[in-house]
Copies of this chain bind each other. A is one copy, B any other.
Amino acid sequence: MARQGVTPRSEDYARWYTEVVQMAELADYAPVRGCMIIRPYGYELWEAVKAGLDRRFKETGHRNAYFPLFIPMSFIQKEAEHVEGFAPELAVVTHGGGKELEEPLVVRPTSETIIGHAFASWVQSHRDLPLLINQWANVVRWEMRPRLFLRTTEFLWQEGHTAHATAEEAMEETLRILDIYADFAERDAAVPVIKGRKSAQEKFAGAADSYTIEAMMGNFWALQAGTSHFLAQNFARAFDITYLDASNQLEHCWTTSWGVSSRMVGGIVMAHGDDGGLRLPPVVAPIQAVIVPIWRSDDDRGVVLEAAHRVTETLRADGVRVHLDEREGLTPGFKFNDWEMRGVPLRIEIGPRDVAAESVVLVRRDRDGKEAKSAASVTAIEDRVRDLLDAVQQSLLQQAAEFRDAHLHEASSLDELRDIVSTGWALIPHCGTKECELSVKEETKATSRCFPLDRNPEWNPSGLSCGVCERPALGYAYFARAY
């Protein structure tokens, strides 16, 4: 049962990430190339992500539905940009029920097309709008360089699809969802994000405009953690989603789509993890507090376990997700490391002296050494634990925000941008053209992450020129290495 430590982040960040994901038993590679197995601890984290998002979607009037996994190849081909973007990543079913199919079926890479087809029959009149639908599903995009959670051939996600009467309403929805994503990321996942607009190069294939929340990982790379797309009438025209307006005119709808995937789990690992392993925010942690009983003699064992069970029951009754580690044959030190690796926000140690003093020792995962430890009376232990869990949640968000803010820099030239992106993100006036962005990528490996909304009160401001090519700038954009 001896466990080696994880590779330090400073030595090899990619290796640290994969080791933490595997050793904490979040996920593992599957025998099918590019696919992963999400293990129970990782799936519980995903369930917490789902619950946090699903609640927010329902509170804003969205309803869940389910559409087919298989999409006729002809559907994918109806929107020109869409097929161009997704064709290289498709998995194709050619045989079913022992026969070759007349038309190959695509395993959905995303569902704008098949849902657009359904919307066309559901929407007749302006009274049917807005139509606000979400789907929790698996999708497949062939992946040549898989990374657990971050890029896998199959992944889990939610995809929202909405139809509206006007461009304004569709844009409002696009930004409302972006706010929901940011709210979830910051409040639940404790991951601070920058909301922004995607460049022409980085936007969704088929969207008029894509919006994103971008988070900084521990190696300064950016993770696109959620996207919300204003599709204009592109899919409504391709799939004939029309409605009769109040004056009986037939109009095309305006649609949106938006998604957050299981890569969010990878983002939580990389935004908070340290060289000891995971550090999970209490709101989404499968186990919020772990109790480690400590004894030497058999006499102590009974007394300590009895006290540990009492504390467990008290906390569980109070709604805390608590786990009592009763495993035999393992030292307390081993257990400490094990739960540290798994990122449990709070450890509760109970030994014979604690039982005698009617107290416990509490150890926060977000701090080190003496700063992490405190003693507490078992009387009203639930209040103390709640307070500490709140404190850990806040502190993880604050640490991540401070880390990020210390690594955001302004650049005014390609040389400055190149220097910055090895240890941070560069904010630079940018023209937004594909040509210029591709040249930056070739020279620096960095891509534009977004034009942050809070730094761009207007688009195409007069007098601002691109820091790289000197064409007129669309606005300020962050450039960074990205997953």
Which residue numbers of A lie inside 8 Å of B, CB to CB?
28, 30-32, 35-40, 42-44, 46-47, 63-72, 75, 87-98, 104-105, 107, 114, 117-118, 133, 137-138, 140, 142-144, 153-154, 156
Contact of A35 among B36, B39, B70 (CB under 8 A): B70
Contact of A70 among B39, B67, B154 (CB under 8 A): B154
- Report chain B residues within 8 Å CB of A138: 69, 137-138
Q: Given A89-B97, A94-B95, A95-B94, A66 and B44 touching (CB < 8 A)? A: no
Q: For residue A110, give the distance in angstroms from its CB to the closest CB of chain B.
A: 15
Give 3 closest A-B pairs by Cβ, nearest first: A97-B142, A40-B63, A35-B68
Question: In the complex, are the beta carbons of B93 and A65 less than 8 A apart?
Answer: no
Q: In this complex, what residue of B is CB-closest to A105? A: B32
As for how many copies of this chain the complex holds, the number is: 2
9 further A-B pairs in the complex, CB-CB below 8 A; given A30-B114, A35-B68, A97-B144: A30-B118, A40-B133, A43-B63, A68-B154, A70-B153, A87-B98, A88-B98, A92-B96, A94-B95
Q: Give the docked Cα–Cα distance between A64 and B63 (Å).
A: 24
Question: In the complex, are the beta carbons of B142 and A68 less than 8 A apart?
Answer: no
Contact of A68 among B36, B69, B90 (CB under 8 A): B36
Question: In the complex, are the beta carbons of B91 and A96 less than 8 A apart?
Answer: yes
- Report chain B residues within 8 Å CB of A96: 90-92, 142, 153
- Report chain B residues within 8 Å CB of A37: 65-68, 118
Q: For residue A329, give the distance in angstroms from its CB to the closest CB of chain B.
A: 9
Question: In the complex, are the beta carbons of B107 and A93 less than 8 A apart?
Answer: yes
Q: In this complex, what residue of B is CB-closest to A39? A: B65
Q: Give the docked Cα–Cα distance between A95 and B243 (Å).
A: 38
Q: Given A31-B114, A65-B37, A68-B35, A94 and B97 touching (CB < 8 A)? A: no
- Report chain B residues within 8 Å CB of A117: 31
